[in-house]
């Protein structure tokens, strides 16, 4: 049991370090190698850059922390449930703002919307995320919800959460590859930063999966 708890702590710590590494790398990429960040600017790529930043920090990092909340947040299960629900709400709102940024960028440059598989997958993921959150709130957080209904829905809730998180990971990595191709990056420092960002995303998703298999800290 002691070894298992030590492994759980190590996995949780590593997951948090990967989240910090992801944030650092994406900020270095967007602020140092790209044009920076802005919602309103005559330098239009600054508007686009809001998109990868918020999608990675929101849906992946905060969403991953929400998934791990039942194993990493001390206290009663009711407290963990509230943290889980609120973190997912923050991730959802952040993701929606990130989607808005890329639509704004496309509109201002008269670029067609939703013409790549990455965009199709992204829209599907954020819609499923919103639907999952609403249904989860009604089932698990709404006052006077029936325990029998919660028990029946719980396995599907877990399954849906796993699918949506995997979709988010696939979408993010696909977006990085797409941007890599559009920018025609080769053996440059920027290419290394983009590749390592993708690697951190994949490793983070693996660690989230590992953390939730261990018992509570």
- Residues in the chain, how many? 217
**75 conformational bin, left if phi > 0, alpha if psi -120 to 50, beta if neither:** left
Please report, for the domain that includes residue 112, its CATH number.
1.20.120.1770
d(CA 80, CA 24): 28
112 CB-near residues (< 8 Å, 6+ apart): 106
Confidence of residue 142 (pLDDT cuts 50, 70, 90): confident
Neighbouring C-beta atoms of residue 129, cutoff 10 Å: 24
CA 169 to chain centre: 7
Distance of CA 88 to the CA centre of its chain: 10
φ, ψ of residue 118 to 5 degrees: the values are: -55, -45
pLDDT in tens, 61-97: 999 999 999 988 888 888 999 999 999 999 999 999 9
Q: Which long-range contacts (CB under 8 A, 24 or more apart) does 105-113 make?
A: 105/44, 105/45, 105/47, 105/48, 105/51, 108/44, 108/47, 109/44
Q: Give the pLDDT of residue 141.
A: 83
Query: No. of H helices and E strands in the chain?
Result: 7, 0
> What tens digit of pLDDT does each residue of 168-194 get?
999 999 999 999 888 888 778 999 999
pLDDT tens for each residue of 87-137: 999 999 999 999 999 999 999 999 999 999 999 999 999 999 999 999 999
Structural domain count of the chain? 1
102 with 178: CB under 8 angstroms?
Answer: no
Taking the whole predicted model, whether its pTM rises above 0.85 is answered as yes
142 φ, ψ (degrees, to nearest 5): -70, 135
Q: Which domain holds residue 167?
A: 2-213
């Amino acid at each position: 049991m002691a070894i298992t708890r030590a492994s759980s702590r190590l996995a949780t710590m590593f997951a948090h370090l990967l989240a910090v590494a992801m944030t650092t790398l994406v900020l270095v990429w967007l602020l140092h190698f790209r044009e920076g960040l802005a919602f309103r600017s005559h330098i239009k790529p600054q508007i686009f850059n809001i998109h990868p930043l918020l999608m990675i920090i929101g849906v992946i990092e905060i969403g991953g922390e929400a998934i791990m909340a039942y194993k990493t947040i001390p206290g009663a299960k009711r407290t963990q449930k509230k943290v889980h629900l609120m973190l997912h709400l923050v991730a959802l709102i952040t993701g929606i703002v990130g989607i808005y940024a890329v639509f704004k960028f496309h509109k201002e440059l008269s670029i067609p919307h939703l013409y790549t598989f990455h965009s199709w997958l992204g829209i599907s993921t954020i819609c499923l995320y919103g639907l999952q959150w609403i249904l989860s709130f009604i089932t698990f957080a709404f006052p006077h919800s029936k325990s029998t209904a919660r028990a029946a829905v719980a396995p599907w809730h877990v399954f849906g959460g796993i699918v949506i998180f995997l979709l988010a990971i696939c979408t993010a990595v696909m977006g990085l590859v797409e941007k890599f191709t559009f920018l025609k990056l080769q053996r440059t420092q920027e290419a290394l930063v983009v590749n390592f960002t993708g690697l951190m995303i994949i490793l983070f998703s693996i660690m989230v999966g590992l953390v939730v298999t261990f018992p509570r800290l």
